[in-house]
Homo-oligomer: A and B are copies of this chain.
Amino acid sequence: MRLTVIGIGLIGGSLALTLKRKGLVSKVIGVDNNPVHQEQALKLGIVDEIMSLEEAVKSSDLIAIATPVNIAEKLLPTILDLIDKQVVFDLGSTKERIVNIAKAHTKSGRFVPTHPMWGTEFSGPSAAQEDAFKEKAAVVCNKEQVDEDALKLVEQVYQTLGMHILYMDAVKHDIHVAYVSHISHITSFALANTVLEKEKESDAIFELASGGFESTVRLAKSNAAMWVPIFMQNKENVLDVLNEHISQLRKFKSCLEKENFEYLSDLIENANGIKRILK
């Protein structure tokens, strides 16, 4: 099977590397508008060949869209126009808008909207990893609108990656990821800005930074080209969660201001409830 990966970065690159090594695909064609990434992807053995979008779609059986989500929604109608019997899937972090765009197309049954729940704070082909997705969840949205053979093939892709598949409505997906992914990135970006803003003696402070700080601020290395479009597309849900998060932080602030240490203790003990869920 010949796979085209559009957007050869962290996600697309990791997908290509793993599927090729596992033998599910025999050839990987890369499409990327960044010449540096094209060259890196060839050099790192992530893709066998670079082609234009049209050429690539025509030469492959399976097409993965792994671009930022704003690019994905622009490309999808063009790709669906170009295909015949091929299968197309995306790997973006928001699902409602792309599902609606697909619905408007006559070949919508060939498109499988998905979101593998894996990523790192790094980007570009050099960030790609083999076996990256293993043991994580992959979400497949609105499967009832997808042709049976297309769904089966994409399920096979995620099974090959070692992921377990969750089926979910796109609207619900976007709400859930606002909670377990998008807000984490915003708090991490804001935390980095807080520290960078206020702390001038950076040498002293960062020698003190222990594992806890690194862990909460790690996601702040994530890149804007990927995250701005995600926040744009999921604006309403992200704002809901962000408002709640600010109001939770204000509770801590008020406890400190009023020296209400009993309530502070209650807040912390409530937060400890996350242990029930994350082992």
Complex alpha-carbon distance, A195 and B237, angstroms: 13
Please indicate the chain B residues that have their CB under 8 angstroms from the CB of A218 in the complex: 212, 215-216, 278
Which residues on the B side are within 8 Å of A228 (C-beta)?
261, 264-265, 268
A157 at the interface (CB under 8 A from B): no
Candidates B194, B196, B273; contact of A183 at CB < 8 Å: B194
Q: Roughly how many angstroms separate A181 CA and B272 CA in the complex, as a whole number? A: 18
Beta-carbon contact of A274 and B244 below 8 Å: no
Per-position binary interface string of chain A over residues 136-159, scored 1 when its CB falls under 8 Å from any chain B CB and 0 otherwise: 110100000000000000000000
A253 with B249, Cβ < 8 A, contacts A117-B208, A270-B196 known: no
User: With a CB–CB cut-off of 8 A, which chain B residues contact A166?
Assistant: 204, 207-208
Q: Which of B118, B202, B248, B257 touches A190 (beta carbons < 8 Å)?
A: B248
Per-residue 0/1 for A261-279: is the Cβ within 8 Å of any B Cβ (1 yes, 0 no)? 1001101111111110110
Judging by beta carbons under 8 Å apart, are B235 and A256 in contact? yes
Complex-state Cα separation, A232 to B260, whole angstroms: 10
Partner of A209, one of B119, B211, B242, B278: B278
CA gap between A243 and B210 in the complex, in Å: 22
Q: Which residue of B lies closest to A268 (CB)?
A: B224
Contact status B194-A244, CB under 8 Å: yes
Chain A interfacial residues counted at CB < 8 A:
93
A216 engages B242 (CB within 8 Å):
no
Contact B239 A193 (CB under 8 A): no
Which one, B137, B239, B250, contacts A246 given CB within 8 A? B250
When the two chains form their complex, are residues A187 and B191 in contact, meaning their CB atoms are under 8 A apart? Answer: yes
A240 to chain B: which residues have CB within 8 Å?
198
Q: Is A185 an interface residue (CB 8 A)?
A: yes
CB distance from A241 to the nearest CB of B (A): 6
Q: A205 to chain B: which residues have CB within 8 Å?
A: 176, 179-180
In the complex, the answer to whether B277 meets A206 with C-beta atoms within 8 Å is yes
User: A192-B271, A268-B224 are known contacts. Are A204 and B181 too (CB-CB below 8 A)?
Assistant: no
Q: Are A256 and B231 in contact (CB under 8 A)?
A: yes
A209 — nearest CB in chain B belongs to which residue?
Answer: B180
* Contact with A275, one of B136, B221, B227 (Cβ below 8 angstroms): B221
- Tell me whether A180 and B249 are in contact (CB under 8 A): no
User: Is A62 part of the binding interface, using a Cβ–Cβ cutoff of 8 Å?
Assistant: no
Given A184-B213, A257-B239, A271-B196, also A264-B208 (CB < 8 A): no
A-B contact pairs, 26 of them (CB 8 A): A118-B210, A119-B212, A137-B207, A137-B208, A139-B208, A166-B208, A179-B205, A184-B217, A185-B212, A188-B216, A188-B271, A189-B252, A189-B268, A190-B251, A191-B248, A194-B245, A194-B248, A196-B270, A206-B278, A212-B219, A215-B215, A223-B272, A232-B261, A243-B253, A246-B246, A249-B249
